[in-house]
Amino acid sequence: MIKKAIRMKLYPDLKGEYTKRHKELWPEMRKMLKEHGAISYSIFFDPETDYLFGYLEIEDEEKWAQTADTEINRKWWVFTENVMDTNPDNSPVTVDLEKVFEL
């Protein structure tokens, strides 16, 4: 199992909408994440900065990287691009975080 952490930026005052969309995560999106090796995926919100912190446990980096090429993921990116910082292809701007400690 590989542990990953990422940081993303939510637009101000859109935590409620972002949370709502994830509570209603499409079944085909859940299926795709599992098929691409997601063991677990949690997202945390920092209200002082509007940063989102994603924590993932995945099976394989290569398999996980293929999520970007799926039709359902690209559809999700379009669906969420109006609530967070995104790249020109609508993917979320993400920063990989470096693990400095684990107990």
Q: What is the DSSP letter of 98?
A: P
Look up the pTM and report it: 0.90
User: Could you give the domains of the chain?
Assistant: 2-96 (3.30.70.100)
**Cα–Cα distance, 78 to 91 (Å, whole number):** 8
pLDDT attached to residue 40: 97
Q: Which residues are catalytic?
A: 22
CB 86 within 8 A of CB 14: no
**Cα–Cα distance, 61 to 25 (Å, whole number):** 23
* Residue-wise pLDDT tens digits, 69-82: 999 999 999 999 99
pLDDT attached to residue 62: 95
- Please report, as a single letter, which amino acid is at residue 25: L
Using pLDDT thresholds of 50, 70 and 90, give the confidence band for residue 6. very high
Which H helix or E strand runs over 42? Answer: strand 38-46
- Phi/psi at 58 (5° precision): -125, 165
pLDDT attached to residue 92: 97
* Residue-wise pLDDT tens digits, 19-72: 999 999 999 999 999 999 999 999 999 999 999 999 999 999 999 999 999 999
pLDDT attached to residue 9: 98
